[in-house]
Amino acid sequence: MEQHQWKDVHYRGTIVRVDYRAQKADGTTWLKYANVYLPYGYDETKPYNILYLMHGGGGNPDAWLDCSQIKNALDRGFAEERSKPFIVVFPTYYNLNPAERRSSGIDAAWENAQVFGFQKELEEALIPAVEGRFHTFADGTDHQALVSSRRHRAFSGFSMGGCTTWYAFMEHLDIIGTFLPLSGDCWVIEPTGGKEHAAETAKALAECVRRFGYTKDDFKLLIATGDLDIAYGNLTPQVEAMKAYPELFGDMQYVVKEGAVHAYEEVYHHIWNYLPQIF
Ligand code: FER
C-alpha cells in the first residue's frame, strides 16, 4: 500500500463549527453541531465537492480530528494535488445529550437504530445546514438540487460510521455518488449481519440499487479495513457475497491493509489512498 511521508506543509485548511437543529421521528427537535473542514484557499465564489465523514461508536464530531491525522492528510493531499480540494463534514449520529450517549460497551441494537435514524436528519437537516452555508455543487438544498449534484457528494465513516455509510447507500443513493465504508459491515439484517447473513445483506443492498434504477456505473463503492481489524471477519463475507451482482457491484473496490487494527489512526490512511478516486 502507498504510504506518504510527512513534511511540513503551508497549505492548512480550517475547521468551522456549524450548528443546526435536527428533528426526531417523534417531532421533537434538538440542537447539534458538525465540524466542517474548509480546504486551504476556500473561495466561496467556486463550487466544491463535499465528503461527509462519520465517527465510530462512542464518538462525536471531533473524534476523527482528535484521534487521527485526517486533517494533515487532507491538507497534504490537496497541497500535492492528489485530489481537487473538497469540503469535509464531521457530523455525529448521536444527539449530543451526554445522558443518552454511549459511555462504554456497545448495545448493538441501540447503536444500529441511531445510525439508521441519522439518515432522516442527513437529508432534512445536516446537508441543508452545511450546503446552504458553503458553496458546493448543489444549486439549492431541496431534493432535486441534491439529486442533480449527487456525483459531487460522498459519504464515509469508521466502524459504526461504516454502518452509517451502508445505510446512506441504501437510503440516499439518489443524492450521494461515492461511498467509503471503513471497517464496518451493513447491519440491515441484524448487527454484524455481514458475517452470518452475508447473502441476505448483499441482496438487500442490490435491491436498493435496483429500486433507484441505477447500475454499477452510477456510483462508486470504495471499501476498506485491516486484516487485524475486528470488522474484517464481518465485512469480508459481505463483500464476497456482493460479487454475486457484477452488474451492480462489479466496480466496487475492497482494500485490506496488512497489520491494521480497528482504529482511526489506521483507517484515515484509506481516505489518503482513495483520495484521487473519491470524485
Ligand atoms: C463491525 C465491527 C465492530 C462493525 C462495527 C463494530 C458496523 C463496532 C464496534 C464498536 O462500536 O464497539 O463489523 O460494523
Q: Give the pLDDT confidence of 55-103 residue by residue, as tens digits.
A: 999 999 999 999 999 999 999 999 999 999 999 999 999 987 767 777 6
- What pLDDT sits at residue 70? 98
Q: Which of 111, 158, 169, 183 is the best mutation target for the ligand 1 pocket, counting ligand atoms within 8 Å of the beta carbon and taking the most?
A: 183
- What pLDDT sits at residue 102? 72
- Ligand 1 center–CA 232 separation, angstroms: 10
Closest protein CA for atom 6 of ligand 1: 159
Give the fold, CATH level 3, of 14-278. Answer: Rossmann fold (3.40.50)
Interatomic CA distance for residues 104 and 68, integer angstroms? 21
Helices vs. strands in the chain: H and E counts, helices first: 11, 8
19: Cβ contacts below 8 Å, ≥ 6 apart? 31, 32, 33, 129
Q: Mark the ranges of the chain whose per-residue pLDDT is less than 70.
A: 1-9, 98, 103-104
pLDDT digits (tens, 9 = 90+) for 137-163: 999 999 999 999 999 999 999 999 999
Give the pocket of ligand 1 (CB within 6 Å): 56-57, 106, 159-160, 162-163, 184-185, 187, 192, 230-231, 234-235
Alpha helices per DSSP H over the chain: 63-67, 70-79, 108-121, 127-131, 143-148, 160-172, 193-196, 198-212, 232-242, 246-249, 264-274
Handedness of CA 71, 74, 80, 85 (dihedral sign): negative
Q: What phi-psi label fits residue 14: left (phi over 0), alpha (psi between -120 and 50 degrees) or beta?
A: beta
Closest protein CA for atom 3 of ligand 1: 231
What Cα–Cα distance (Å) separates residue 41 from each residue in 7, 11, 33, 47, 265? 19, 8, 23, 13, 27
- Ligand 1 center–CA 153 separation, angstroms: 25
Q: Is the pTM of this model over 0.85?
A: yes
- Ligand 1 center–CA 56 separation, angstroms: 8
Q: What is the mean pLDDT of the chain?
A: 94
- What pLDDT sits at residue 1? 56
